[in-house]
Amino acid sequence: MVLLSILAYIVTLGVLVTVHEYGHFWVARRLGVKVLRFSIGFGRPLYSRTFGADATEFSICALPLGGYVRMLDEREGPVEPAEVHRAFNRQSLATRTAVVVAGPLANFLFAVIAYWAMFVHGVAGIAPIIGEVRPDTPAAQARLLPGDRILSVEGDPVPTWEAAIQRLVERVLEAESVRLEIRSANGHERAVTLDLGALHVDDVGRGELLQRLGTLPQSVRIEPVIGRIVAGSPAERAGLAPADRVLYADGEKVTDFADLVRRVQERPGEPVVFIVDRAGTQLELSVRPDSVPQGARYIGRIGAGHDPAAVIDEREAAVERYDVLTALLHGVDKTVTIAGMTVGVMGRMLVGQASVENLSGPIAIAEYAGRSALFGVTAFVSFLAAVSISLGVLNLLPVPPLDGGHLLNYLVEFVQRKPLSEAAQMRLLQMGLMLLMILTAIALTNDLARATLNG
């Protein structure tokens, strides 16, 4: 898994950095600016060659942490008089702005194309059917019931849970409630209003949206049938055997294997009386779970696993697919929506309404890349699109040396009819670098904290 995560991270960074820098490169060339180097990564070149009439150098370097396009510029070295007109610093404000904006726009365009291709091909998912509704929660107050199928969120059809969750996340950032169209298990359709007032943007960042709403999707159910038994374990000592079906634990009916695990975990070191069905005969067995540490508490464990043949998948498969034009519109919509949500979360972090724990660094990105790659091409392309949008938004932040920092300088130049002084630009650059270092440190700290917690 570690090797896969590293490889997926390198592919992710290579693709998205190339897309971003190619945006700068393509527009610069079209507007007459000479490009000296197109580099993927930093540091010592691992591969390098020149191409084109301008002998532009293309390089792949040792540190896969970004990339850059180096253009002819009098501020970076002497320029031949015959080529002064092609220097970046000599270009009009409109040309310089177009070249800088092209990088982030290329990232957004990549996301649109990726989502378009996915929607044309069809995105496999799980139908948004509710499997559990917890009492005293927004879902219960909205009178949602197990077996209800979500048809639309605020009028937008949602064929899969992924589509439903995206629409719900949008409303968490925008409103206090959301309107759902529901089809009950008996076929009756109705509208309900789900209260979002108690939710926080951090719930979304932690992936706890549905839990906080008080509902869970219809899911895989495992019958309480014993499969493997660990040698020398409490289960073996008590006489449990493979194929035993646990009917009762301390007189209470066991509904599935998850229920059995919960009951065992709640009784570390204390005997639990099982009634099991063994080939049609009911037996009474007393099992004393081992007491094992888990975080700050102890849980019970008996050393028994479930029977793989007892897994019952109650989920209903669904596919989100559109015609070519509709898929393009959905691709644009999804890109704009995710970009807007990203900006919204960043804004809330800035004013203290969202935790900086939402920031992720290279370790988390590598982990997510590896996981998405495990689920296949569609999942990995979706991940690439989402990260491409984040990269585009990040680069538009008005912080030197990001693209947004350059655009801020150009805005000042437009307003005051002259560029900022070199001293002012240097001070802004130093402040921007300091801010980026702080954000990077926070993101890495979050990554390490997550890795420690998950490990």
pLDDT of 296 above 80: no
Please report which confidence band the pLDDT of residue 358 belongs to, taking 50, 70 and 90 as the band edges: low
Residues 146-161: what's their mean pLDDT?
92
Question: What pLDDT is recorded for position 77?
Answer: 85
Query: Who wins on pLDDT, 215 or 27?
Result: 27
Angle between helices 403-416 and 422-454 (to 10 degrees): 150
Beta-bridge partner residues of 217: 130
User: What value does the mean pLDDT take over residues 107-121?
Assistant: 96
Residue range 39-63: average pLDDT?
A: 90
Q: What percent of the chain has pLDDT over 70?
A: 95
- Model confidence over 157-193: pLDDT tens digits? 999 988 898 888 888 877 788 999 999 988 999 999 9
Q: Are 357 and 443 in contact (CB under 8 A)?
A: no
> Per-residue pLDDT averaged across 53-64, rounded?
89
When pLDDT is cut at 50, 70 and 90, the band that residue 206 belongs to is low
Which residues are designated catalytic? 21
Residue range(s) in the chain whose domain bears CATH number 2.30.42.10? 124-219+316-320, 221-307
Lowest mean pLDDT, pick from 13-22, 167-176, 299-308, 366-375: 366-375
What integer pLDDT is reported at residue 205 of this predicted model? 67
**pLDDT exceeds cutoff 60 at 1:** no
What is the reported pLDDT for 173?
A: 76
Residues 308-334: tens digit of each pLDDT: 877 766 678 888 899 999 999 999 999
Architecture of domain 221-307: Roll (2.30)
* Top-ranked range on mean pLDDT: pick from 77-91, 194-208, 286-300: 77-91
The residue among 78 and 422 whose pLDDT is bigger is 78
pTM of the model: 0.74
The whole-number average pLDDT for the span 82-93 is 93
Rounded to an integer, the average pLDDT of 374-381 is 84
Q: What mean pLDDT is reported for the chain?
A: 88
Q: Among 256-265, 268-277, 323-332, which is the least confidently predicted range?
A: 256-265
Average pLDDT of the residues in 205-233: 83
* pLDDT at site 436: 84
Lowest mean pLDDT among 356-365, 367-376, 402-411: 356-365
CATH superfamily, region 124-219+316-320: PDZ domain (2.30.42.10)
Percentage, residues of the chain above pLDDT 90:
49
